[in-house]
Structure 1
Amino acid sequence: MNRAKLYSSASEMQHRDAAEALSRHVGSMTWLDDGSESVLDVGCGSGEVTRRLLLPVVPATGRVVAVDASESMIRFASVRHRHPRLCFRAIDILDPDMRGKFPLGFRKVFSFFCLHWVREQRIAMKNIYDLLVPGGEALLVFLASSPIFDVYQQMAAVSRWSKYTKDYENYISPYHHSKTPSQDLKTLLSDVGFHVAYCETRERIFVFDGLPQLKDAIKAVNPFLDRVPKDMHEDYLSDFLHESKKLKAKVQISNGKLSTKYELFEVLVKRVKQ
């Protein structure tokens, strides 16, 4: 997760899905007439989506704070995407003092392809709720399920790789095995206090042009690769691709291209209480 430069160049899927979610939901959000919006981006990663997609939809007098738990991602983003209306900070959404760090709160919170990494969903959603001022809104986009999580589980059962991946459950979406992911998430959001305007999963397909592109995408987000000795990286990636090909219902290979099916949450919520 700390391979910021690689992630920045190998995140086409995330960029596409974030752009589509913004185009669907930004117009239904309530924006201040004077444009003085305070905006938080949770899990900004290397900063591409924040700078290229989110900042342009924020009114010209608004400001964006982008946070990520990875200090190396924040260092990269701070240099690559410097802008007078954009600030990057290394902060984890699970921080117990999130509101203390931002006492004025925010009118908008966005998060793209981050929250599926968070096992403690209630804490994260409560922190987002607390960070919003009354009337504030949040747009959250993250994986409900993905074949990559199945492969993590399969690789953990392979003796050669199991010692590096024993904690694989910490790196799959909490909703991956749920039969009712949307309802599970709606219930949690309502319990936290949100008014849920929209909470659905969308089935998505992304086509990788070839194995090099797929390998880069895997390397950019795989949480176990740093644990594997470097001289075994190619073997690990080869086995990873081999396991991926077994998921024929979710992964298809044709003419040298690989397509993968996954389910993506799109969530629009509002804080209505003091």
Structure 2
Amino acid sequence: MNFDRLKTYHSIASKEALTCMEIVSQALPLDQKDVLLDVGCGPGVLTILLSKRVGKVTAFDVSSEMIAEAKKNNQAENITYNIGDATKLTTYKEYSQAFEKVIAYYCLHWMKDFKAALQGIYQSLKPGGQCFLNMAQENPDIFDTLKALGSYTSPKWEHFMKGYKHAYYLFKGNANDFKEVLFDIGFKDVNCRLVVKKLLLTFDEAKAHYPNFMNQLRRFPEDKQKEYIEEAVKYVMDTGFKDDEGYKMTCSLIVAVARK
């Protein structure tokens, strides 16, 4: 996430959070007695909604900037914000068997060692506790688009992009393969399914939205960013994702609910 553009992203994410909350609540029963862990909370837009459905929420993210933004967005008495690395969850003894529910929404694909995060989620659950997870599946559409946006260069931009690498760690298998990963960790009552989301954006919408995920913009002088964004977005839209209606993309997500 490009923190410099977070305020632009927040208005989009707040609307998306309502849809996310509906998906979570349909898949995972939430109770006012639950103590919940929100893994990779980002700016806290989903955390706010979760806090209204459970007793207590611990929300953490590896980015201190994200936690600062989340705190600014909501200071409900039943939310505790912490800075933490999900891949090191097993080392946080205060989290061990501390939660009835754990949510990891749109965050696992940012982690190179996502299996370590899953092991930590398992350890943090109380016996019988449940988690809701989603994991982006490797596919030739939206996440390839994001990777292209995150690595786009040309001779005039090489100076700014030299040595930069923007990585997504997408799951290479299918829903059954992800289910086996969860079983191997120790989860039971595992339910995995593939959810396909279709998006349609105009060129102007793409220019407004996707720079939020272009972390390389921090390398560019402010007076060069607009030109670079225009060129990068045009590049990905001209490589096979565009038709008369706009910019079409498909996002494949593996959604899982599992019990300890």
Give 2:145's match in structure 1, choosing from 141, 145, 151.
151
Identity %: 23
What CA RMSD, in Å, does the superposition of the two structures yield over aligned residues? 2.6
Counterpart-to-counterpart distance in 2, 1:165 and 1:182: 34
CA apart distance, 1:10: 2.8
Paired residues in the alignment total 253
The equivalent of 1:9 in structure 2 is: 11
2:103 to 88, 110, 127: 110
Deviations 1:206-245 (A, max 9, x none): 233x444322321222232223333332232123212322
Residues of 1 paired with 2:51 and 2:239: CA distance?
37
Q: 1:167 aligns with which of 165, 190, 193?
A: 165
The answer (yes or no) to whether the contact 1:10–1:213 under 8 Å persists in 2 is: no
Hey, what does 1:237 align to over in structure 2?
A: 229
Instruction: Give the alignment partner of residue 259 of structure 1, picking from 232, 243, 248.
Output: 248
Q: Residue 204 of structure 1 corresponds to which residue in structure 2?
A: 197
Cα separation, 2, equivalents of 1:242 and 1:259: 14
Q: Secondary structure at the match of 2:43?
A: coil
Structure 1 match to 2:40 = 43
C-alpha separation in 2, matches of 1:212 and 1:55: 34
Q: Deviations over 1:147-189 (max 9, x none)?
A: 3432355464744456357423xx22332xx3x3323322211
Question: Structure 2 stretches of 5 or more lacking a match?
Answer: none
* 1:10 aligned counterpart, secondary structure: helix
Pair 152,218 (structure 1): closer, same or farther in 2 beyond 3 Å? closer
Structure 1 length-normalised TM: 0.81
For residues 79 and 153 of structure 1, the distance between their equivalents in structure 2, rounded to whole angstroms, comes to 30
Aligned to 1:57: 53
- Contact 1:198 / 1:267 at 8 angstroms: preserved in 2? yes
2:182 maps to 1:189: yes
Q: Is the CA contact 2:86–2:120 (under 8 Å) kept in the aligned structure 1? A: yes
State the alpha-carbon separation in 2 of the partners of residues 149 and 42 from structure 1.
21
**Does the 8 Å contact 1:10/1:220 carry over to 2?**
no
What's the offset of the Cα at 1:36?
2.2
Q: Structure 1, unaligned stretches of length 5 or more?
A: none
Aligned to 1:221: 213
Taking a change above 3 Å as real, the CA distance of residues 181 and 227 of structure 1, as seen in their structure-2 partners, is: farther
> TM-score w.r.t. structure 2 length?
0.84
Q: How many angstroms does 1:134 deviate by? A: 0.8
